[in-house]
Amino acid sequence: MTLYTLKKKKDTEEHHIFEGEWIDNETPRHCSVASKSICNKATKIESVFIDKSCMSEARTRREAAEMGRTVCGICVSSLYATPE
């Protein structure tokens, strides 16, 4: 199951969405975070966690909607894209 994490890019203060998966061998459970955001405009290293991690797609959509314009529009639109 794909999970999502919202992180804030340090230099622009814009929030980006990163994909990940559960890491089963850790207690408490954590999820992985991809090296690049789903829009490819932010990296894991140049962004910081904002306490919105390991979320389902539906919850990520809700959180992004509540945060408004601070979330990258390309990242948000990727959640609504038609799967290939």
Per residue in 31-80, pLDDT (tens digit) is: 999 999 999 999 999 999 999 999 999 999 999 999 999 999 999 999 88
Burial class (CB in 10 A: 0-12, 13-18, 19+), 47: buried
Q: Name the pLDDT band for 21 (thresholds 50, 70, 90).
A: very high
Q: What pLDDT, on the 0 to 100 scale, is given for residue 84? A: 65
- Cα(59)–Cα(48) distance, integer angstroms: 19
- SS in 3 state form for 3-67? EEEEEEECCCCCEEEEEECEECCCCCCEECCCCECCCCCCECCCEEECCCCCECHHHHHHHHHHH
Q: Report pLDDT digits (tens) over 25-34.
A: 766 778 999 9
Which tokens belong to 78? Answer: 């990727």
Tell whether pTM > 0.85. yes
Q: What pLDDT, on the 0 to 100 scale, is given for residue 28? A: 75
Q: What pLDDT, on the 0 to 100 scale, is given for residue 15? A: 98
- Cα(5)–Cα(7) distance, integer angstroms: 6
